[in-house]
Amino acid sequence: MLGKASLIGNQLGVEMKWKLFTSDERVQRPVPSSFEFESRHIAMSAAYLCCTHMLDMSVLCIEGPNGERIEEPEIQAWCLKKAGLDSGDLQLMAGLMA
């Protein structure tokens, strides 16, 4: 019997995934990669970890199971908010405000 997530994904029983697209900047020609996650939130959290701990990896976008895309500016804004940098004082201290 198919699980509930499989039935929601599509009629074939294949679970739909959220894909995080990244680029490894450590090499002369950046290498694009993608990673699959079960939900939007988990993909965004993985992007946050890339931005905060994997400084040589650029987050390009996230693509949802129905073709929806989350572009880099929206991902960055989410990451700043998650980090607590959405405070005007903290942004100013971090040099993020023009």
What SS3 state is found at 61? strand
24 neighbors 35 (Cβ within 8 angstroms): no
pLDDT of residue 35: 93
Amino acid at 1: M
54 neighbors 61 (Cβ within 8 angstroms): no
pLDDT digits (tens, 9 = 90+) for 53-81: 887 888 999 999 999 999 999 999 998 88
**Against a cut of 0.85, is the pTM above it?**
no
3-state secondary structure 10-38: CCCCCCCCEEEEEEECCCCCCEEEEEEEC
Quote the CA–CA distance of 36 and 70 in Å, as a whole number.
Answer: 14
